[in-house]
């Protein structure tokens, strides 16, 4: 996977998910241009250099390069996404009631057929269902599928796991076996338009739970009852281009 370009690990302890209501990609993510410094970007967006370093896990303010995508807002802040507008169906036109025949010619004339109401898909200007934030619904649905696949793979490959626990001396004597488990039942995704037309930036969020099993010996710890001691939210960033999500 091309992590240096597409992935950012964030969301160490927060459970907030969506981007701020009405926020576009330019309000949250900027692309570093030639000659730009982190201090200039911070001043432009009225935030501190320290905040940008924290949001982007930067070890030093001068560790940026041209083309790098930088958060200029806290990615953990969010509100509930608004529902996509739904085109209302045109009311059906009732069939006209034929008038009583006034002549033999009128009696032989067939009654006019009722007008057919246009379907919502045929309404002018409506070409594709769009989710909240200006992202096509199909792009959002594809992100949901990719998110589930990515998290299921993480759940299979994570170490130490319940079948291969790590054992270490305990802080108060004895030993502690530990393992990590990915919660694949709670996967959250969010997509926003990129600065380039036809491209989108997506986030995939899920939880990692850490368990500990104390015992007097290593063998006891490996067989002991375990309990969860920590849960943290994980966030992976991916990019949509050329008709698919890449990670």
Low-confidence ranges of the chain (pLDDT < 70): 1-27, 77-132
Q: Is the pTM value of this prediction over 0.85?
A: no
pLDDT of res. 99? 54
Instruction: Calculate what percentage of the chain has a pLDDT beyond 90.
Output: 34
pLDDT of res. 73? 83
pLDDT of res. 108? 55
- What backbone phi and psi angles, to 5 degrees, belong to 150? -60, -45
pLDDT of res. 124? 42
Q: pLDDT tens for residues 172-206?
A: 889 999 999 999 888 999 999 988 888 999 999 99
pLDDT of res. 204? 94
DSSP lists the bridge partners of residue 110 as none
pLDDT of res. 74? 80
Q: pLDDT tens for residues 124-133?
A: 443 445 555 7
d(CA 138, CA 92): 30
pLDDT of res. 12? 32
Residue 25 parent element (H or E): helix 25-28
d(CA 155, CA 149): 10
């Amino acid at each position: 996977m091309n992590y240096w370009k597409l992935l950012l690990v964030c969301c160490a302890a927060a459970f907030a998910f969506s981007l701020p209501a009405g926020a576009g990609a330019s309000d949250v993510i900027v692309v570093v241009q030639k000659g730009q410094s982190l201090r200039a970007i911070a001043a432009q967006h009225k935030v501190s250099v320290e905040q940008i370093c924290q949001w982007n896990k930067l070890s030093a303010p001068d560790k940026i390069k041209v083309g790098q995508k930088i958060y200029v807002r806290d990615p953990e802040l969010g509100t509930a996404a608004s529902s996509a507008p739904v085109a209302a169906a045109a009311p059906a036109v009732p069939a006209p009631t034929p008038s009583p025949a006034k002549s033999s010619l009128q009696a032989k004339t067939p009654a006019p057929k009722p007008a057919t109401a246009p379907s919502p898909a045929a309404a002018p200007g409506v070409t594709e269902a769009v989710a909240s934030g200006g992202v096509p619904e199909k792009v959002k649905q594809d992100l949901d599928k990719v998110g589930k696949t990515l998290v299921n793979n993480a759940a299979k490959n994570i170490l130490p796991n319940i079948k291969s626990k790590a054992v270490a001396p305990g802080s108060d004597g004895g030993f502690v076996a530990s393992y990590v488990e990915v919660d694949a039942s709670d996967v959250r995704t969010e997509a926003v338009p990129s600065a380039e037309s036809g491209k989108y930036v997506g986030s995939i969020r899920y939880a990692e739970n850490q368990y500990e099993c104390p015992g007097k010996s290593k063998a006891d710890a490996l067989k002991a009852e375990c309990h969860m001691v920590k849960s943290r939210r994980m966030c992976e960033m991916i990019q949509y281009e050329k008709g698919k999500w890449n990670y």
